[in-house]
């Protein structure tokens, strides 16, 4: 596996791949890789000739007081995992390479899709994400770019951005990978102590219970949200940031559950903020 640290080298290499007729699959990550990231790399491996993974802890998507400094990093271990997964190239630029002094250009998706859920709790977060992802698209020239469904709002926003800004590529959503007990894989799970790790199960449990209630015929979104909150609040360390139900295609408000809906959660377990979601479809 080749490792590139500069934009110029990465872009030149990707241009050469394209000149040779290779399709490029890009997997953008912030590193500290887990099985969820490796599922993205596997999906890219099976659908593209050349697979590029980026590792960059993007400072501009973290707010003041968030965990940018503490975010776990292990480039050596990550490189080994990616090489073992058959990845062709790793792009691991420095902050200065991506945002040199005097940097002033940002990409922002506005409207309802960014104003809710994590967009409301983390102002500026998605502007940071869409800016870095646009840069990665321009540097790595992917035909396909792979994102996890765990960040459901993020992938919806990136799809909208790619469509509206005419990026010549396809976004591929990859399903959430969970631990055997249901906890969604996340680099932030390492922050949890053993007791918090147990309590974190209330996220996936509340989604499952909500799904069961909907399948049993409940159509009142308020009642389903209430059940989600009751389950989460049974954990003494849990603090709900949001527990919402929105239209799964455009995040429009939902009072009566119909069609495809997104059940979305952000919950602090101790000081660790975790997100999870489930799409439920009703006829
Ligand atoms: O999902 C992530 O890990 C990040 O938000 C992304 C897409 C790599 C952008 O920094």
Residue 283: per-residue pLDDT: 84
133 within 8 A of 160, measured Cβ to Cβ: no
What percent of the chain lies above the pLDDT cut of 70? 100
Residue 18 clears pLDDT 90, i.e. is over it = yes
Q: Which of 10, 30, 37, 221 is catalytic?
A: 37
- Span 20-47, average pLDDT: 98
Specify the residue for token string 């396909």. Answer: 144
C-beta of 132 in contact with ligand 1 (< 6 A): yes
CATH number at 144 reads: 3.40.50.620
Q: Are residues 238 and 196 in the same domain?
A: yes
Confidence of residue 24 (pLDDT cuts 50, 70, 90): very high
Q: Are residues 99 and 235 in the same domain?
A: no
For the chain, give percent helix, strand, coil, nearest 5: 45, 25, 35
Mean pLDDT of all residues in the chain?
Answer: 98
Q: Are residues 155 and 97 in the same domain?
A: yes
Residue 282 lies in a domain: no
Q: Report the distance separating Cα 103 and Cα 106, nearest Å.
A: 9
- Span 53-78, average pLDDT: 98
Q: Are residues 164 and 191 in the same domain?
A: no
Residue 179 lies in a domain: no
Which atom of ligand 1 approaches the CA of 61 most closely? 10
C-beta of 228 in contact with ligand 1 (< 6 A): no
- Span 257-261, average pLDDT: 98
Q: Is 125 a catalytic residue?
A: no
- Intra-chain end-to-end CA distance of the chain, in Å: 47
Q: Are residues 191 and 139 in the same domain?
A: no
Q: Which of 191, 189, 182 is CA-nearest to residue 211?
A: 182
Q: Are residues 43 and 87 in the same domain?
A: yes
Residues 162-217 pLDDT 10s: 999 999 999 999 999 999 999 999 999 999 999 999 999 999 999 999 999 999 99
Among 142, 174, 206, which residue terminates a domain?
174
Confidence of residue 123 (pLDDT cuts 50, 70, 90): very high
Alpha helices in 145-283 (DSSP H): 152-164, 194-199, 201-215, 221-233
Q: Are residues 152 and 54 in the same domain?
A: yes
- Span 63-80, average pLDDT: 97
- Domain housing 6: 2-174
Confidence of residue 234 (pLDDT cuts 50, 70, 90): very high
Handedness of CA 42, 48, 49, 52 (dihedral sign): negative
Residues 137-160 pLDDT 10s: 999 999 999 999 999 999 999 999
Q: Report the distance separating Cα 251 and Cα 266, nearest Å.
A: 15
Residue 57 C-alpha to ligand 1 middle, in angstroms?
8
Residue 72 lies in a domain: yes
Q: Report the distance separating Cα 156 and Cα 160, nearest Å.
A: 6
Phi then psi dihedrals of residue 63, to 5 deg:
-85, 175
Q: Are residues 138 and 216 in the same domain?
A: no
């Amino acid at each position: 596996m080749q490792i590139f640290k500069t934009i110029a080298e990465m872009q030149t290499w990707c241009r050469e791949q394209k000149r040779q007729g290779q399709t490029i699959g890009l997997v953008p990550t912030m590193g500290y890789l887990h099985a969820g990231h490796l599922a993205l790399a596997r999906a890219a491996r099976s659908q593209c000739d050349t697979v590029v993974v980026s590792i960059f802890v993007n400072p501009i998507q973290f707010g003041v007081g968030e965990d940018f400094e503490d975010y776990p990093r292990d480039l050596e271990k990550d490189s080994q995992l990616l090489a073992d997964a058959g990845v062709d190239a790793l792009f691991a630029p420095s902050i200065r390479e991506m945002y040199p002094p005097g940097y002033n250009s940002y990409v922002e998706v506005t409207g309802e899709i960014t104003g809710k859920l994590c967009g409301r709790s983390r102002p500026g977060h998605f502007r940071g994400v869409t800016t870095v992802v646009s840069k990665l698209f321009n540097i790595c020239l992917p035909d396909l770019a792979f994102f996890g469904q765990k960040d459901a709002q993020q992938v919806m926003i990136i799809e909208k951005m790619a469509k509206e800004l005419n990026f010549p590529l396809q976004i591929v959503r990859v399903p959430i990978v969970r631990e055997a007990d249901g906890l969604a894989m996340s680099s932030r799970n390492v922050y949890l102590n053993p007791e918090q790790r147990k309590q974190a199960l209330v996220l996936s449990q509340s989604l499952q219970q909500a799904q069961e209630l909907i399948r049993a015929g409940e159509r009142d979104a308020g009642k389903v949200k209430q059940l989600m909150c009751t389950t989460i609040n049974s954990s003494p360390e849990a603090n709900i940031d949001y527990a919402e139900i929105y239209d799964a295609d455009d995040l429009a408000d939902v009072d009566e559950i119909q069609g495809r809906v997104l059940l979305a959660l952000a919950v602090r377990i101790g000081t660790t903020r975790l997100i999870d979601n489930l799409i439920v479809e009703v006829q």
